[in-house]
Amino acid sequence: NALSLFFSSLKTTFSSVVRVRPNDKDAKMKYQECNKIVKQKAFERAIASDELKRSVVDSLDIENMTIEDDYAGPKLEDGNVTLKFMKDLMTEEITICGDTHGQYYDLLNIFDLTVCNVYIFINAIYTHRDFVDRGSFSVEVILTLFGFKLLYPEHFHLLRGNHETDNMNQMYGFEGEVKAKYTAQMFQLFSEVFQWLPLTQCINNKVLVMHGGLFSEDGVTLDDIRKIDRNRQPPDSGPMCDLLWSDPQPQDGRSISKRGVSCQFGPDVTERFLEQNKLQYIVRSHEVKAEGYEVTHSGKCITVFSAPNYCDQMGNKGAYIHLRGSDLKPEFHQFTAVPHPDVKPMAYANSLMQMGMM
């Protein structure tokens, strides 16, 4: 404790010197060394006294992260994300460019096309169904989306998809991309944040939005969904798995999913769920559609897919939806892919996955 107090006092002293003489490199270096020691001592005390699982955030030393003198990119204002910061971030050429399942440039195109106060990204907004994987600019996409979440926390909503999970990120590229552009610790931080993303959103008690679809069994209520422990990697079955993985089918009933997990659900399943929960329809993603969207189950199940020319191969349109009026009638808007730098999809994926794209 005495040693910690000593270095804490030194830190305060050097901090005062740095404020008075900001160009004094020796003082700045000594301040950083003292600060590092103080944090290390605090960390050791925490480990000794606290057996609870610690967040990756606690191990980040943000204060001592250095920014190169010649850095001319986006800058926070007093530590806060601003609209100017987000505009600078989206046009910043230093960012590693790419697609968004990581189709980043198509994501920017959506922002250009939409004039809307509330964005709901159904974790398929830019790549195969979800925020990340497959496309090689997932980092740019997710940082842009998180930035807007910080800028408009009450109006900008992000939902979790089946690709906001560790096993998918390991296979389809996001883990490799983050490690190539940043560090393994950074991927752990993303993984931790993904686990806190909501699984669904209910709009005006009329429309339920999720990534995958409905459930393997009848009787699931909105209260049941609220009670799901989402802060984890998803299980192989159950409501959490279904919300991330299931798909609609044209015939009544349920069948085994072609994906090997969860199920396919028919119009009768959708009708019963909506009636029980007093909802009008559901909006989901999870499947590429030639026109960018598809309306099924007598208008009560809508699929929207926002990654045009998916993986630079599919030739599909992208789409987004505007919900208008008290009845939340959906309006569909289609768009096509925009040019992007010549970095191929799956560039950071597991080598076996890359072979599958050839």
> Which residue, of 33, 64, 95, is where some domain finishes?
64
Whether 86 contacts 148, CB under 8 Å? yes
Predicted confidence band of residue 355 (pLDDT cuts 50, 70, 90): very low
> Where is the domain boundary, 36, 64, 92?
64
Residue 193 inside a domain? The answer is yes
How far apart are alpha carbons 92 and 82 in whole angstroms?
A: 15
Query: Helix or strand or coil: residue 330?
Result: strand
Could you tell me if residue 107 is inside a domain? yes
Which pair of tokens denotes residue 155?
Answer: 């109006």
Residue 138 phi, psi dihedral angles, 5° rounding: -65, -35
- Total domains in the chain come to 2
**Are 47 and 100 in the same domain?**
no
Instruction: Give the tens place of pLDDT for each residue, 96-151.
Output: 222 344 688 888 888 787 654 444 554 333 233 356 767 678 998 899 889 888 88
Query: Is the domain of 46 the same as that of 126?
Result: no
Measured distance CA(304)–CA(296) in Å, rounded: 11
Task: Examine residue 46 and state whether it is found in any structural domain, yes or no.
Answer: yes
- Say how many residues make up the chain: 358
The answer to whether position 76 is within a domain reads: no
CATH for 195: 3.60.21.10
CB 213 within 8 A of CB 246: yes
- HEC-encoded secondary structure of 48-97: HHCCCCCCHHHHCCHHHCCCCCCCCCCCCECCECCHHHHHHHHHCCCCCC
Domain membership of residue 185 as a residue range:
83-357
Determine which one of 101, 163, 211, 297 is catalytic. 163
Same domain? 164 vs 239: yes
Contact at 8 Å (CB) between 319 and 334? yes
The values of phi and psi at residue 179, to 5°, are: -65, -35
Is 163 an active-site residue?
yes
This prediction's pTM: 0.75
Closest CA to 62 of 223, 237, 189, 200: 189
- Of 64, 98, 115, the residue at which a domain comes to its end is 64
The most confident of 60-64, 153-157, 223-227, 303-307, by mean pLDDT: 223-227
Looking up residue 48, the CATH number of its domain turns out to be 1.25.40.10
In this structure, is residue 69 part of a structural domain? Answer: no
In a domain, residue 258? The reply is yes
